[in-house]
Structure 1
Amino acid sequence: MNSSNKMNNVLLVLLSASVLVTIGTIFYHFVDTSYETETAIRATADESKIFEGVYVRDETVLTYSGTGTVSYQVPDGGKVAVGDVIAEIYPDEASIEQKQQIAALQDKLDVLERISNTGTLAEAQPADLSRQISQYYKEIVQNRDRSDISAMASAEQKFVEAYSTYQIVVSQGEVSFSQQISDLRTQIQSLESAQTQFVGTVTSENSSYFVSYTDGLESSLTAEKLSDITPEQIRKITQEEKNSDDTKTAKNNGVIGKSIAQYGWYMVGIIDNKEQKYKVGDTVTLKLLTSSATASATVQELRSTDEDGEVMVVLYCDTMTSDFVQNRTENVEMILGEYEGIKVPRDAIRFKDVEETVVDEETGEETTQVVNSRGVYVQDGEKIEFRRLDVVYEGKDYVLSDMNAGDGYLMLYDSVIVEGIDANGN
């Protein structure tokens, strides 16, 4: 009996010790081997540089030898053909104001005649007009917030047209603009009878873009003189631009603006290229930060400067739109490539020797070799596994790994261990 009690006591002690060990093991896993993880998600990145670019292009200063006041017929950045009238010259400012007043009244008359047209009213539906009114109102607000005055004025005119048409349609003829139309015609006829005619014109000699300012650099920043342009000259131009509210010179000596040739142009700027990611011949995308306009360009030259790793990049582009003629300098993003992959924090990256099978291309023979691979540890339930990375982009504090690298590589939505594991996976 005593022997039996002793045996029971021994078994009880062993059982208690086993329970304590199990509890300790569980506690250890919860406390000492807990991991901080992040879900592997898809991300995109650009390989790009932002710099102050300076335009180098063929520009012709336009002048008028007579006297008088200039009335522009083409907006800044407007495209003109050979023989198009760029500007009319009037005797004085009052003559131009009179012309502008006639034009404003004519715009109002055109709107009222258009919305009062029988054909327009016959096709107009209240529901459609109501939707248009709401849409144009939103556009007015959006363009106001973007400070886009031209787009806001256009949306405002469309809003007035839709709202006025809606008034006529829902009133079933009770609302009419006949009297306003008659009054506007009378005012226009009266002003036209007293209108002073222009005394001269300036026309375009070639197909080009027009801007109404000059900056004094038209003869020095040309394609012909591109090889003479120095990094110091570019730094001076961009610094003067930053220090000045307006680098556009006042019109004098008969200068009324300039025309910019439609064909290819250059942009130069100073960039950091220590890692030599940009090379001559690369195709890049230029994105203007002011308007988000884009164009494809080619890296023509990378000239060394007096700063280590810094170069003067020379870009060539043959795409010309009004966005690219508004200024002499631009804040521009030069995009070399756009990448997509699985985002991995650099803190999570580890290295491990991994066996891989290599196939000889000539014989087809398979051999196994050990490769020190870059990767991450992931948590799959209670298992910890090493997954390799196929890096497609290197960021400052992260990398992007190919989303379709295959077996043994990191996959979307894996739980990547970012803290709590050492280089050996412990």
Structure 2
Amino acid sequence: MRFSVVPIASLLTALCASAAGVHRVFPGDQVAPDQQRQQRLSSASSNKGLARFLINQPVAANARPLFAAGEAATTESSTGQDVPTADGGISAAGNATALFPFSNSTQGTTNSTQGTSPAGPGRARGPLNYALLVKWSSPAAAWAFMGVTVAITVAVTYNLLFQAKTFHSKAVYVYLLIWCLARITCFALRGAILTGDNGQNYALYQWSSMVAALGFMPLAEAMAVVTVESSAMVYGMKRKTAKIWDLTVKAFFIFFGVCVAGFVFDYTLNKPFGSNAKDFSYLIALREIGFNGLILLTVYTLVGSAFNFVDVARKMKVPNEFWNRFRMLMAVTILQSLLILVKLAYTSYRNWNPAELRDEHLWYIISIVPEYLFMCFYCTHYFLRVFDDIELKHGKYSAEEGKWVKSSLDLEPAPVSVSPSDMKPLPSPSPTPSSK
């Protein structure tokens, strides 16, 4: 028997390579472009979305290898051009995902095993580098932001322990400290996954994505605390009314935060890498309720602070000597609300357009920098000190009476009034005996 196409040695080598999971094209194995297209589709039958992506993907400039071994891992399109391996996008909550949907049947080969590259003619197999897939590229930026966050953490901790004197200002610093810890963790994980071959660690990628997606939420609650307490002062709310309003805002924040967290955790931990959130209706519901709710809370802080800014002089509940400083705090809160709205608008746009605005530089500039500008105002106690000064000088706010009332410890002793009838003549001094 004669083998006119494939030598026996090449055939044996191909069989061994196939058994080992390695797919290579040998010189005698060239086939027509149409047959190559069918082979790609059949070899990725469990990943049809991936096959379509690989065939239709245009040439990308400066494409970087996605595999730990550094192999380019390109494949030839139906037009005869080499195209890069599957690139990554960004998921709804800011955690990364690929542009191609993986079916649940492929999770065992991509998700739980930290994912090997899909098989196909002309493609080398190797462990996926998830950080490169989703275009995370700068460990230096991650370490730099972590260092800045550590410095902010020192300032916030100092303000909490040595500067804040009242419950209102201390509560704000507690929320800001939670943000500091979340962002230190976020950038530590991000720097680690971009170092060496750590990008192949799927668990590290998952946790890095989740912490990055959830770390901003304490800032929204800090703004809500400032706005609610300021409104109670400006409008002279009764204690019961102020308490109900405060608890209502907190309940909404917890509800929306749980929705966002539920979406991020379930989508990142339980869905195969590259899944499309639109394929899961309950994930879409959680995502939209959570993110739109946080947007509404931010709009509330924006509008509420604007009303407080105007009405502090009209309602005349806050002592007039503090009006200018109170308005300054409200102006800061308005600016902070606008910064967070920019971040949430960017995130919401990427929720529905995961293939766009994927560059890491844009993520830093539009999503992360607003948070750090927010924090600059609270590295000093200058703005929040107005809460402390009002309370220390005029006592604590009595919501029942609708005014500031000093406690018994703060009250100055009242002058004693004496009526003329109570006055008694002083006894005249006894004459001293004259000396002789």
Alignment TM class, shorter chain as reference: under 0.3
Pick 1 or 2: higher relative contact order, CA cutoff 8 A, min separation 6.
1
Q: Normalization by structure 2: what TM-score?
A: 0.21
Find the structure with the greater CA-based Rg: 1
Q: Which has the higher helix share?
A: 2
Structure with the larger strand share? 1
TM-score by length of 1: 0.22
